[in-house]
Amino acid sequence: MATIHLMVGFMGFGKTTIAKELEKKLSAVRFTHDEIMLERYGRNPDDFQAKYKYVDEHIRNETAKFIRQGKDVILDYGFWTHDKREEYYNWAKTLTDNVVFHLAECDKDEAKQRVLQRSRTDTKALLIDEKAFEELWKQYEPWYYMDDYPAVFHNAPTTRYLYQLVWVKIDRPLGSKHPKHGFKYKVNYGFIPYTKSGDGEELDAYVLMEDKPLDEYIGRCIGVVHRTDDDDDKLIVVPEAYDLADEIIEKDIAFQEKWFKHILLRNPRVTKAHF
């Protein structure tokens, strides 16, 4: 099933760079709203909101067409507010079950310098001066707890996933055998698509509290297994409304983690239930 990728980040955060990398990797179709605005209306268009709305309608129609064709679509909008993220997520879910946010995060001052430099040197960029940047910054709402959607955090530490929803692709389901060492997986085990861990592969995840083999899963990350002798962290994922005590997590993952020195990193936030 085709996936809609929603790129989140303020101007200068590097989201378009990430979107282009995904476009190439996935052979996806990318729509960067600013690029279309610039191509059609120039660097400093008048009646901006009306033109923005027209371009948005065009992109939505094109997205629906490509999803029907089985093609992944990347929407490089920025989605600066919670309301926008909620609106576009709900709309995207009417087209496909597979919808994931991609976050680019950056220091404000660094982002401002990138944008001002781009405005000075790149004739293909929208014209943004310092005053405009500061006014637009007031509209930006960082990702926070109300943004409860499956997300990938690019160029971020694995602890950024704590208490976030994630989409896990299961490549070693419960009861399957390790392809090299032969031990059985006592839980479902997979990876977070579109991520990169310290070993260069996707970020791995244990899915706990599920008693049957799975193909994919959306759940909440409640912990990170940080291996101190191997650059390969693992997420601990459970059903959305639950948490587990450290000793239960350690018991469930011991079939594999007993071979590695590790620290279990937890989120101090209290969830709805503990087992």
Structure token digits, residue 197: 């861990």
Q: Does 261 have pLDDT greater than 70? A: yes
Same domain for 217 and 245?
yes
Q: What is the mean pLDDT of residues 126-145?
A: 92
Whole-angstrom CA distances from 82 to 12, 88, 100, 150, 270 are 19, 10, 15, 14, 23
Q: What is the mean pLDDT of residues 68-75?
A: 98
Judgement on whether residues 248 and 163 belong to the same structural domain of the protein: yes
If you average pLDDT over residues 254-268, what whole number do you get? 90
Give dist(CA 72, CA 2) in Å, integer. Answer: 5
Arithmetic mean of pLDDT, 47-51: 82
Domain around 110: 3-153
Judge whether residue 274 has pLDDT over 80: no
pLDDT at 268: 57
Looking at the chain, how many residues does it have? 275
Residues 233-261 have a mean pLDDT of 95
Residue that terminates a domain, selected from 106, 123, 153: 153
Contact status, residue 183 vs residue 255, Cβ threshold 8 Å: yes
Instruction: Answer whether residue 3 shows pLDDT above 60.
Output: yes
Nearest to 79 by CA among 100, 101, 61, 60: 101
| Residue 272 maps to a domain | no
Residues 60 and 103 in one domain: yes
Checking if the pLDDT of 269 tops 60, the result is: no
The percent of residues in the chain predicted with pLDDT above 70, rounded, is 97
Which two three-digit tokens encode residue 231? 């650059």
The per-residue pLDDT for range 86-112, each reduced to its tens digit, is 999 999 999 999 999 999 999 999 999
Chain position carrying tokens 């085990």: 189
**Does residue 170 share a domain with residue 149?**
no
* CATH code: domain of residue 217: 3.90.80.10
Q: Which residues contact 78 (CB under 8 A, 6 or more apart)?
A: 7, 8, 9, 10, 11, 15, 33
Q: Residue 218's pLDDT is what?
A: 96
Check whether residue 75 and residue 137 sit in a common domain: yes
Sheet order of strands, 151-153 included? 29-32, 73-78, 3-8, 98-103, 151-153
Average pLDDT, the chain: 92
Asked if residue 78 and residue 188 are part of one domain, the reply reads no
The pLDDT assigned to 85 comes to: 97
Q: Is residue 68 part of a domain?
A: yes
Residue 183 lies in a domain: yes
Question: What is the CATH number for 112?
Answer: 3.40.50.300
Boundary-marking domain end, from 153, 183, 209: 153
% of the chain surpassing 90 pLDDT: 76
Confidence band of 147 (pLDDT split at 50, 70, 90): very high
Residue 43 shares a structural domain with residue 85: yes
Does 144 share its domain with 202?
A: no
Looking at the structure of the chain, the number of domains it has is: 2
pTM: 0.87
Residues 165, 110 share a domain:
no
The answer on 209 and 87 residing in a single domain is no
User: Which range, of 2-11, 61-70, 119-128, 172-181, averages the lowest pLDDT?
Assistant: 119-128
On whether both 79 and 148 belong to a single domain, the answer is yes
The whole-number average pLDDT for the span 22-30 is: 96
